[in-house]
Amino acid sequence: MARTTRAHTSPPAGAIAGRRADAQRSIDAIIGTALAEITRTGDVNTTEIARAAGVGRMTLYGHFPTREDLVEAVVSHTVAAARSVLAAADLDSGPARERLHKLALTSWRILNDHRQLMVVGNRYLGPERMHALHDPVLTYVRRLLARGRREGGFRTDAPLAWLVATCYALIHAAGDEVNSGRINEKAAGPLLATTLTAALCANQPPCSTD
């Protein structure tokens, strides 16, 4: 008696694409909800994140098996958004000193909006991993300062890495001072621009705060 074999058939391409789209929607919802939760509470409550994202905990853990995986995905998401903002600022064209001023006016808000994420990221991922994840953003700053040094507008008596670290620290400080109420939000950008110019520019008067 002949054996009848059943041919294996693959799912239609449309069905596979649909599953992938559904999975991506779940991932996007989880990341967006996790960012909101971290910003609001400074913590990573996966039960609450899954509920608010409209997915089950098993779905969340299927995409992000650990809290570290989820936090890294959220950090990567915000870094990508920050890169888009910096790309729009066009830091690679025009006089470097003018671009430094423009960077100061906008950059502190980017970091300040995600200050809770920085704390959570350092807690779960550690400073070294966080620095590596932020390197694509720091590359814009590093490139701007290197160009300014070649133009003769930025100081060369200190290592470039130190100038980048100084810039990053002052940007953080601007957000901290606004949050503490010690300086007005509207004054933060111009004040940061003045301080960065004084710290980084060689024999140049500070930028006007008018």
Task: Give the tens place of pLDDT for each residue, 109-126.
Answer: 887 788 889 899 999 999
Which domains are seen in the chain, by residue range? 14-65 (1.10.10), 66-200 (1.10.357.10)
d(CA 133, CA 145): 20
**Which pTM does this prediction carry?**
0.76
Q: Look at 60-74, 85-99, 114-128 and tell me which has the smallest mean pLDDT.
A: 85-99
- The overall average pLDDT reported for the chain is 85
Instruction: Band the pLDDT of 91: cuts 50, 70, 90.
Output: confident
d(CA 3, CA 86): 66
CA 86 vs CA 64, 174, 192: distances in Å: 28, 18, 17
More confident residue, 90 or 41: 41
Instruction: Band the pLDDT of 128: cuts 50, 70, 90.
Output: very high
Determine what percent of the chain is predicted with pLDDT higher than 70: 87
Q: What is the pLDDT of residue 208?
A: 43
| Cross-strand partners of 107 | none
Q: Is 42 helix (H, G, I), strand (E, B) or coil?
A: coil
